[in-house]
Amino acid sequence: MASTAAALSWSSSTWLQTSVNNFNQPRKFSDNRMVFVVVAQKKAKKLRKIILKEDVAELGKKGQLLDVKAGYYRNYLQPMGMAQIVTPLLLKEMRMEEERIEAEKKRVKEEAQQMALMFETVGAFKVKRKGGKGKQIFGSVTAQDLTDIIKAQLQRDVDKRIVSLPEIRETGEYVAELKLHPEVTARVRLNVYAN
C-alpha cells in the first residue's frame, strides 16, 4: 500500500508537470477517464456598485457612484442607511434629478441676467446727502442706502450683502456692483449730490 501511494505521488507529480504546458486540454487515461487541470488563481474581489445617500468621511459625497467591497456595504453602509446599490431605475432617476437641477440653475442665471440688464438700463440712481465744505458730505453712502433707493424706485428687494460700493464721502458719480449670481454682476451708477 505504501508503494502504491509512492508510485501514485510520483506519477501524479510527473503528470502535473507535463500537463502544465497544455492545462486547458482534457487528458485521457487508459481506463477512459477524463481529467481537467484546475489552476488556482487569486481570490476574486467582490465589489458592489453603490450610490451614497449622504456624505461619508474618507469615502465620498452624497450622490456619488462608487465601487466598494461587498462586506463594507453589507455590514456598515447599508445598516446605517448611508448607501444604496445602483439599479438601472435608480440611475434613470439620478439622471432626471441632475437634468432638473441643471434646468433650475439655468433659469436662475437667466433671471439674474435679466435683472442685471434692468439695473444697467435704469441709468443713475440719485443719492441726496447733507453737504459740507466743498464736495464733502456728512457721513457716507452705504450698501443699505443703495438697496433702499432701488426698492423705492424699482420695487425690487436687493440684499445689501451682494452690493459692493467704493468708499463714498464726497459728491460725484460712482459705480457700484451688484453680484446677482456667481457668473452675473450688474454695474449701477450712483450720482451723489449735496442738498
CATH of domain 109-194: 3.10.430.100
DSSP state of 108: H
pLDDT at 124: 86
Return the amino acid letter for 86.
Answer: V
User: What values do phi and psi take at 43, rounded to 5?
Assistant: -65, 130
**What are the tens digits of pLDDT across the range 131-176?**
888 888 888 889 999 999 989 988 888 898 999 999 988 889 999 9
- Shared fold status for 47-91 and 109-194: no
The model's pTM is 0.59
Q: How do residues 5-63 score in pLDDT, each as one tens digit?
A: 444 444 455 555 555 555 555 556 666 676 666 666 677 778 999 999 999 998 999 98
How far is residue 138's CA from residue 131's CA, in Å, rounded to a whole number? 6
Task: Could you please state the CATH topology (level 3) that the domain comprising 47-91 is classified under.
Answer: Ribosomal Protein L9; domain 1 (3.40.5)
